[in-house]
Structure 1
Amino acid sequence: MISEAVHAVWCRELRRADLADDDDFFALGGDSVVMVRIQGAFIEELGVEVPMDQLFLNPTVASISAYIESLGAVTR
């Protein structure tokens, strides 16, 4: 499931274990460096390239997961 994979990436890259699907990336301390690492992980682990503007527009696990699912992506 995409949301589980996205959640795992965010937890790892933000170094947090207590993320909710509606927690805001920026409120959790996310910055551009972490965002680039997340973008790379999505390419490597999910096989989907998420443009940087979409990461800004979808700052929660739930919203970015929905965006990725709208692309028809499937986890590997």
Structure 2
Amino acid sequence: TAGSGYSRWRDLAVTRWREDVTRDAWGTYVFLRDIESGESWSAGYQPRGGAPDSYEVTFSEDRMEIVRRDGAIGTTLQVIVSPED
């Protein structure tokens, strides 16, 4: 996954998103910044791009997880889906 996505509740869009299989550039993003160097990046590949030192995506029944390393900083982003609704 490139790291973008959207949220829906039943037929209601909670966040904006456009279905475009050629571009995965819409959705909700998490940005990080190294306060010492001032460098910033997104938790997933989109929308900033760039190549992290390592990047792994795991999907399971109730969650998605992106684990990446950029220099000395390691991050984990988990998106968990409620079993209700």
TM tier, shorter chain? under 0.3
TM-score after normalising by structure 1? 0.25
Give the structure with the higher percent strand: 2
Work out which of the two has the higher radius of gyration on C-alpha atoms and give 1 or 2. Answer: 2
